[in-house]
Amino acid sequence: MVSQSTLQKYEMVIGLEVHVELKTKTKIFCNCPTDFGAQPNTQCCPICTGMPGTLPVLNRQVVNYAVKAGLATNCKIASSTKQHRKNYFYPDLPKAYQISQYDLPLCEHGYLDIETGKGAKRIGITRIHIEEDAGKLVHLEGKGTLIDCNRGGMPLIEIVSEPDIRSAEEAKAYLQKLRAVIIYTGVSDCKMNEGAFRCDVNLSVREKGEKAFGTRAEMKNINSFQSAVRAIEYEFVRQVEAVEAGEKLVQETRRFDQNTGKTYSMRRKENADDYRYFPDPDLPIIEITDDERDALGAEIPILPDARKVKYIEEYGLTAYAAEQLTIQREIADYFEKAAELTAHPILAANMILSDVSRLLQPDETDIPIQPGHLAAVAQMSGEGRINSGTCRTLIQTLWEKDVDPEIIVVEKGWEQINDDGVLTGFVKEVIAQQQKSVADYKAGKAAAFQSLVGQVMKKTSGRGNPVKIKELMTALLDD
């Protein structure tokens, strides 16, 4: 295992290839349905399995959706483009080629702006092209492999980023932002548990300050943000260890195992020449007029970046908090409704990003608390009627049974104690009882002070104003 100081000598260079399943009713080249979860091989036909004598017919909605995705990610849209056959021999492609795009993608030269804990960064998007998905292989231990062709011919867009990403945090922020933008446009539901939004991670390492790229490895079909982070972190260490040991890295495709958190070699990475691309002779050129492009652009709703600006300017949120709220459209909608009903929108935002997010399951957006009730909690907190601890308890209570939070606070006697006289009595009582902690504090031990404050909060059943308690405690101890 290499040391942390050795790892810090290197930087990772990451490019992401994201596959997004489009939300059309039928497949890209035939009339087979696209419903998820059907019985194996019940949603396929001679066309999507590529049987001899069949001809594909492009679903124009696929092009329209791809153009919307391109416009939403600041891409230039080609006025004329074509489709290619990408040849490779795997059993999940019965016809032994995939219809994709090669040198003339539908969309290119775009970008997304992301926010991380280190600030804003722009990630370039090389291209977005349309293609069909392959079928699914089901491996049975000791028995062989089964093929389900239902997924074959499902319409995809592949979104290829520039190698601008330098950390797992940036990769996660980019994936979250991209998924948000796509969902906002309505072209895909991006359900990661159904494989509708998945990515391939291309990663190489180089010493900091170097300009040339290292030899990259590609990790295939990662379908969760956490898996992407884990795969990147493991692969970075693996490659640095190999370089430090004098090993020669090879360009290869690797598989990430969620159970072990490690990547394993699958095969040497193919190059474009290996796929023997050539224009599909059965499909005509795709033409897109300026009017068609403008009409599709007009259908795109307000996107995350525009909402982010609004939250910063109107509500005073930080850029990072605003970015996090807009990642999921339903959460952003919820916040806006709550923000309209309280004089403390920043508190409402913080509650959503902390307490509410903690209670939500991954990718879940259905909040069982009415926006007006969350706004009321924010209002009581902003007015000093309840403290932060009571806020958390109140939100947990509302999560289980959503009723008027004002009634709960009154019934349970949760209103914050702000009276200096009452709080001074509790502070003096604790000081008298905790002489050892008092001595430790006066000896310079900061933790002792927090312990004393905690004892006062305990005596007030968590209802004391912590700011006032600290002020009163400091005044009495330093007197």
In this prediction, residue 56 carries a pLDDT of 96
Average pLDDT over residues 109-136: 95
Q: Quick check: 186 pLDDT over 70?
A: yes
Average pLDDT over residues 413-419: 81
Listed range (283-297, 347-361, 367-381, 415-429) with the worst mean pLDDT: 415-429
Q: Quick check: 270 pLDDT over 70?
A: no
Q: Quick check: 441 pLDDT over 80?
A: no
* 3-class secondary structure per residue, the chain: CCCHHHHCCEEEEEEEEEEEECCCCECCCCCCECCCCCCCCCCCCCCCCCCCCCCCCCCHHHHHHHHHHHHHCCCEECCEECCEEEECCCCCCCCCEEEECCCCCCEEEEEEEEEECCEEEEEEEEEEEEEECCCEEEEECCCEEEEECCCCCCEEEEEEECCCECCHHHHHHHHHHHHHHHHHHCCCCCCHHHCCEEEEEEEEEEECCCCCCCCCEEEEEECCHHHHHHHHHHHHHHHHHHHHCCCCCCCEEEEEECCCCEEEEEEECCCHHHHCCEECCCCCCEECCHHHHHHHHHCCCCCHHHHHHHHHHHHCCCHHHHHHHHCCHHHHHHHHHHHCCCCCHHHHHHHHHHHHHHHCCCCCCCCCCCHHHHHHHHHHHHCCCCCHHHHHHHHHHHHHCCCCHHHHHHHHCCCCECCHHHHHHHHHHHHHHCHHHHHHHHCCCHHHHHHHHHHHHHHCCCCECHHHHHHHHHHHHCC
- pLDDT band per the 50, 70, 90 thresholds, residue 98: very high
pTM for the whole thing? 0.84
In this prediction, residue 88 carries a pLDDT of 84
In this prediction, residue 9 carries a pLDDT of 94
Average pLDDT, the chain: 92
In this prediction, residue 41 carries a pLDDT of 96
Average pLDDT over residues 391-395: 94
In this prediction, residue 429 carries a pLDDT of 81
In percent, the amount of the chain with pLDDT more than 90 equals 73
Task: Encode pLDDT of 353-375 as tens digits.
Answer: 999 999 998 778 899 999 999 99
- pLDDT band per the 50, 70, 90 thresholds, residue 269: low
Task: Encode pLDDT of 196-226 as tens digits.
Answer: 999 999 999 999 999 999 999 999 989 999 9
Q: Quick check: 28 pLDDT over 80?
A: yes
Higher pLDDT, 26 or 419: 26
In this prediction, residue 436 carries a pLDDT of 82
Task: Encode pLDDT of 70-90 as tens digits.
Answer: 999 999 999 999 999 999 888
Q: Quick check: 272 pLDDT over 70?
A: no
